[in-house]
Amino acid sequence: MLDIDGSMGEGGGQVLRTALTLSLCLGRAFHLANIRAARRRPGLQRQHLVAVRAAAAISGAEVHGDALDSPELTFVPGAVRPGDYRFDIGSAGSTSLVLQTVLLPLLGAPGPSGLRVQGGTHNPMAPTFEFLRDAYLPLIRRMGGEVAIELTRPGFYPVGGGELVATIAPSGRLRALDLQERGPVGALSAGIWLSHLPVHIFEREAEVLRRGLGLAPEAVTLHAQVAAGPGNAIYAVVPGAEVTEVFSAIGRKGRPAEQVAGEVVAAVDDYLASGVPVGPHLCDQLLLPMALAGGGTFRAAAVTSHAATNARVIEAFGVARITFESDGAGASCRVES
């Protein structure tokens, strides 16, 4: 039984999710204390609880402490079982974070799996659907993972009601990844989600994106699909020869449309100016698959506290050693088994 302090580093839900993934992949039990101790409302919230129960469902795990607001959890995994699974968060909690908790274990299962995860698809502080589709999963496929996702309906805070569908084929052990250069950048594009909100919001955001990123009018797409509740999300896609990056911002009540779009423009500008292949959020996302693949290296624009915390959890399980070194134009990361 591995003991983990959930207050380490950033002290958020990433400690829990990474521990669940590694527990399933390695077959190692753990006890997690001080869950989300650094958050305004500590303990397991609905999104985290669904991640726990999803991990338990695919492995027949023995679990203690899986209740709302629980500050600790004991998780004893069984063998990962392929199958068709449906998980409903019951709120606008992130579907992508629940999906990522069980994705890597199911890639190593002995048969194909299908997942339906219902909740929020475009959340602040979580990967959006477009990030998973265009940035994260292409790299997982390059490492040998066979997975595809589809957005059947969007879901926004506070109502949720969205749904992601994933198809996962057994892939065995992932291959190491080396991302040192971005390569030439292709034509940028952007999309704006709008549900139950006036079209002038799209027009104002699109104008900021066109001016700030030099986009032609047709390069900004309006997604006007009606969700269960009101919502607004913006994303920009930066295709490179070696990696595609996606940057997003989520609109909320009281926040001007121009400010939401400006956040995306600033993130893209910073990434392009850095010259490196991996943005700060993708840096965090790559550590776990690379650790399970047995190694790899990449250069990133920045190492966030989220990424540093993720590295500490991975090292606590003894699966890999992760080092970050500043190279003057960002940071170099090396993952070694």
Sequence-distant (6+) residues with CB within 8 A of 194 are: 201, 202, 222, 223, 224, 231, 232
301 φ/ψ angles, rounded to the nearest 5 degrees:
-70, -35
For 82-175, CATH number out of 3.65.10.20, 3.90.1150.10, 3.40.50.1820, 1.20.1330.10 equals 3.65.10.20
Arithmetic mean of pLDDT, 85-96: 96
Q: Tell how strand 220-223 and strand 189-195 pair up.
A: parallel
Residue spans of the domains in the chain: they are 1-79, 82-175, 189-274, 278-337
Nearest CA to 263 out of 250, 253, 280 is that of: 250
Distance CA 6, CA 233 (A): 31
Second CATH level (architecture) for the domain 1-79? 2-Layer Sandwich (3.30)
Cis upstream peptide for 158 (omega within 30°): yes
The hierarchical CATH code for the domain 189-274 is: 3.30.360.20
CA atoms within 13 A on the CB side of 197: 25
One of 48, 122, 281, 306 is an active-site residue; which one? 306
pLDDT exceeds cutoff 80 at 329: no
Would residue 306 show up in a list of annotated catalytic residues for this protein?
A: yes
Distance CA 226, CA 293 (A): 40
- 139-156 per-position pLDDT tens digit: 999 999 999 999 999 999
> Residue 223's pLDDT is what?
95
From residue 331, give the alpha-carbon distance in Å to each of 247, 248, 328.
19, 22, 7
Of the pLDDT bands very low, low, confident and very high (cuts 50, 70, 90), residue 3 is very high
Residue 6 burial by Cβ neighbours in a 10 Å radius (0-12, 13-18, 19+): buried
pLDDT exceeds cutoff 90 at 337: no
- 229-266 per-position pLDDT tens digit: 999 999 999 999 999 999 999 999 999 999 999 999 99
Distance CA 159, CA 119 (A): 8
3-state secondary structure (DSSP) of residue 135: helix
Residue 182: CB atoms within 10 Å: 21
pTM (two decimals) = 0.95
Of the pLDDT bands very low, low, confident and very high (cuts 50, 70, 90), residue 162 is very high
The topology (CATH level 3) of 278-337 is: Ribosomal Protein S8; Chain: A, domain 1 (3.30.1370)
171 φ/ψ angles, rounded to the nearest 5 degrees:
-125, -5
End-to-end CA distance of the chain: 21
The gap from C-alpha 112 to its chain's centroid, in whole angstroms, comes to: 22
Instruction: Identify which of 12-16, 42-46, 134-138 has the greatest average pLDDT.
Output: 134-138
> Residue 326's pLDDT is what?
87
